[in-house]
């Protein structure tokens, strides 16, 4: 678990840190939350599902079929996928909210990346101002957090229209079957039933790109299964549960009749 400590001059002025040299710190994380701005790239690299976060849904990269195994990380710490989620790229820095809602830049002191070495990165300059690297981390994470707020609102719009449903996945390994639970997907039947006014309302909330990215990412589940070494995915009903005919004007109805 991360040990988040707010970065302050009193604690960190004389300290240094080093950048991660591998992605091994994510090896035990099978699902990593995403924000809307990164979904287009993530959809080409891994399955995207909705997961429950309190009483709301958020999109997430599905990186493994077991709770504590990320199969996109090699034994030597290399990232094996075509896209690295923003939450991973920000490490070992994170934002944490105070009781008053203020966002503080924190450092994960359990990461092993604090160092006394003189060639490490500085937290603060001699004049007490944050170092360029720390300012860059704060800027990056602030933009991610701002986009997260927009993303949660878009997910809420989908949820309000009953456009999110459980994603039934059963993986068969050897002679046994194992259900993957806790993942959700776009409810295509409900989506297709939207009238024009409701469809345009979804566009206004920014929910449409979210829905399209999630559906387009679903074939990546096959890649995930292959990486995991499982021979087959059962009960996916690729011709029904995952109907991609909308690419040619079918299922999700994103043609001109819906955009005008």
Which residue ranges make up each domain of the chain?
Answer: 4-259
CA-CA-CA-CA torsion sign (49, 87, 113, 1): negative
Quote helix, strand, coil % in the chain, to nearest 5.
35, 25, 40
**Cα→Cα distances 228→16, 112, 174, 236, Å:** 38, 29, 13, 17
d(CA 140, CA 73): 23
10 Å CB burial of residue 10 (0-12, 13-18, 19+) is exposed
User: Considering only CA atoms, which of 199, 198, 203, 188 is closest in space to residue 244?
Assistant: 188
The answer to whether 118 and 112 have CB atoms below 8 angstroms apart is no
pLDDT per residue as tens, the chain (260 positions)? 577 899 999 999 999 999 999 999 999 999 999 999 999 999 999 999 999 988 899 999 999 988 889 999 999 999 999 999 999 999 999 999 888 888 999 999 999 999 877 889 999 999 999 999 999 999 999 999 999 999 999 999 999 999 999 999 888 766 778 888 899 999 999 999 999 999 999 999 999 999 999 999 999 998 888 877 754 444 333 333 333 232 232 233 332 333 33
Global pTM value: 0.84
The vertex-194 CA angle with 189 and 200, nearest 5°, equals 135
């Amino acid at each position: 678990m991360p040990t988040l400590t707010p970065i302050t001059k009193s604690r960190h002025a004389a300290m240094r840190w080093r950048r991660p040299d591998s992605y091994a710190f994510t090896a035990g994380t099978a699902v990593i939350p995403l924000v809307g701005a990164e979904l287009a790239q993530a959809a080409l690299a891994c399955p995207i599902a909705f997961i429950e976060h309190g009483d709301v849904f958020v999109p997430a990269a599905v990186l493994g079929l077991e709770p504590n195994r990320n199969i996109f990380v090699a034994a030597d710490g290399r990232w094996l996928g075509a896209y690295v989620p923003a939450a991973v790229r920000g490490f070992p820095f994170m934002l944490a909210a105070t009781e008053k809602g203020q966002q503080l830049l924190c450092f994960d002191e359990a990461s092993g990346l604090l160092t006394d070495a003189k060639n490490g990165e500085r937290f603060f300059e001699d004049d007490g101002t944050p170092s360029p690297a720390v300012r860059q981390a704060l800027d990056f994470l602030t933009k991610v957090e701002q986009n997260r707020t927009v993303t949660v609102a878009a997910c809420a719009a989908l949820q309000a229209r009953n456009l999110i449903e459980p994603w039934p996945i059963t993986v068969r390994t050897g002679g046994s079957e194992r259900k993957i639970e806790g993942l959700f997907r776009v409810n295509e039947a409900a989506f297709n039933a939207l009238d024009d006014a409701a469809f345009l309302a979804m566009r206004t909330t920014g929910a449409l790109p979210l829905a399209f990215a999630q559906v387009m990412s679903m074939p990546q589940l096959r890649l995930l299964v292959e990486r995991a070494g499982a021979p087959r995915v059962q009960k996916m009903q690729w011709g029904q549960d995952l109907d991609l005919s909308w690419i040619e004007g079918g299922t999700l109805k994103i043609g001109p009749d819906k955009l005008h």
